Amino acid sequence: MQNYNDHSEEDELVRLLLKRQAELNALLEITQAINKSASTLILIDMLEVIMKDYLQVGKFRFITETEGQFKCISYYGGEFEQHRVLLKCCKGLGKFRGPVSLSSNENEVLKNYDYFIPVFQKNKMLAFALIGDFKTTPQMMGNDLNFIQTLTNVIMVALENKKLFKKRIEAERFQREMELAGDVQQMLIPLTIYSEPGIDVAARYLPHQNIGGDYYDFIRLNQNEFLWCIADVSGKGVSAALLMANLQASLRAWASVEEDLTTIIKKLNDIIIKTTKGEKFITMFLGKFNQQTRVLSYINAGHNPSVLYYKGCVTELKQGTTLIGVLDELPFVNTGEMLLEEEFMIFNYTDGLIEYDQENPDWNENKLGQYVKTYGKLKPDQFNTKVLDHVNRWVQGKPIDDVTLLTISCK
């Protein structure tokens, strides 16, 4: 006949087996929810149900780390403390890898809890839990604490995987956006070399990344006149590319019906303001030359001054106005005009060329002007190549912004 102790041991073994089975079922439900991409809110709800109803934990706090900042993502029972208070109180407990009893802790906050349970990934603590009013037997205490640590680890791994997946999706979306923006930009600036009797045009574009904010264009208006521009749109990506597309369409439309550059630049400012609500801006140099009258007209809208090479001298073309897209109305517009009776060259560029190395005394706008004076008789494509070769040879480092060159010579 079995004695009382034998029955007690058998009962305890049965209870342990049933508890283990319940734990496995709980972990299975959590795992299935994770596999079905359940939201963070659902996973936290499941965690709290298991802690309350199955493990009989009366007070619970679960503090996780996200991008260097800790916050409490699950709590119930007792008066709620700020997570900063809990972090400060638990600072000295981060060295432990397993559950820590708080029964003898002297801290006024921690003494209201039974155990501190850390969650580690390799050597980094990603989260920790505080449990209190824990109703379990001494025999089951070790098992329950191990299960809580396993459960919080599983939840934390799932949350980390969600963050990684989100980052991957964002990276893929960003990459696709850059590809789309690059396609748009390639359609906007197809010109590299243009030539006709008496006119040579050459352009070079070096984006700092896959897609930049530089834009240039050359438009034959009629038998006697041509117009060109070079611009720098603030920002990158699809938004900048779409703004460039809007700028190009608007410029071409107004240039086909309006002769006055002042009117064109004001119309462009109106369009950009309405499109961007003042959140983006554009610097631009807009020029026009009449081959019959030999008059050069231009407006510099906050852009790096284009450099004119004429009769062996160089002149910076600075007259114009302020940035486009900043103010509802341009405060002033000064159109520059020059009579160019002989052959000339105009070198247009974006600020990336000068900002290649801002602290290099051997490369600035004055040095660039001297370079234009020295090599201004070269064909535009040869001149662009020589400028880039010079920069690559003498200026250390890489460009910190997009570099665009547009060089025009006219006999």
78-117 pLDDT, tens digit per residue, is 888 887 888 888 888 878 888 999 988 888 889 889 999 9
Count the Cβ atoms, other than its own, within 10 Å of residue 236. 19
What three-state secondary structure class fits 13? helix
Are 287 and 346 within 8 A, CB to CB? yes
Residue 175: inside a domain: no
299-340 pLDDT, tens digit per residue, is 999 999 999 999 999 999 999 999 999 999 999 999 999 999
Domain interval for residue 50: 4-167
Please compute, for residue 223, the number of CA atoms within 13 A of its CA located in the half-sphere on the CB side: 1
Q: What is the Cα–Cα distance from 226 to 163, expressed in whole angstroms? A: 54
Cα–Cα nearest to 321, from 311, 313, 331, 312: 331
Q: What is the Cα–Cα distance from 227 to 219, expressed in whole angstroms? A: 5
344-386 pLDDT, tens digit per residue, is 999 999 988 887 655 566 667 888 898 899 999 999 999 999 9
What three-state secondary structure class fits 346? strand
- In the chain, the number of structural domains is 2
Per-chain mean pLDDT for the chain:
84
Q: What are phi and psi of 101, to 5 degrees?
A: -70, 140
Ranking 19-28, 66-75, 101-110 by mean pLDDT, the lowest is 19-28
Residue 81: inside a domain: yes
* 63 and 148 both lie in a single domain: yes
For residue 25, how far is the Cα from the chain centroid? 43
Q: What is the Cα–Cα distance from 286 to 95, expressed in whole angstroms? A: 65
Q: What is the Cα–Cα distance from 375 to 309, expressed in whole angstroms? A: 9
* 289 and 375 both lie in a single domain: yes
Helices 138-188 and 40-49 cross at an angle (nearest 10°) of: 180
* 282 and 406 both lie in a single domain: yes
* 123 and 222 both lie in a single domain: no
* 86 and 44 both lie in a single domain: yes
Integer CA distances (angstroms), 271 to 31, 58, 132, 185, 197, in order? 54, 63, 63, 20, 35
pLDDT for the residue numbered 4? 43
Average pLDDT of the segment spanning 180-207:
76
* 144 and 212 both lie in a single domain: no
pTM for this structure?
0.60
Cβ contacts of 360 within 8 Å, gap of 6 or more: 395, 396
- What CATH number does the domain containing 308 carry? 3.60.40.10
Cα–Cα nearest to 303, from 224, 207, 229: 229
For residue 316, how far is the Cα from the chain centroid? 35
Are 126 and 119 within 8 A, CB to CB? yes
* 272 and 354 both lie in a single domain: yes
Cα–Cα nearest to 404, from 178, 226, 244, 179: 244
- What CATH number does the domain containing 98 carry? 3.30.450.40
Which position has the token pair 């009366």? Answer: 58
* 252 and 286 both lie in a single domain: yes
pLDDT for the residue numbered 29? 83
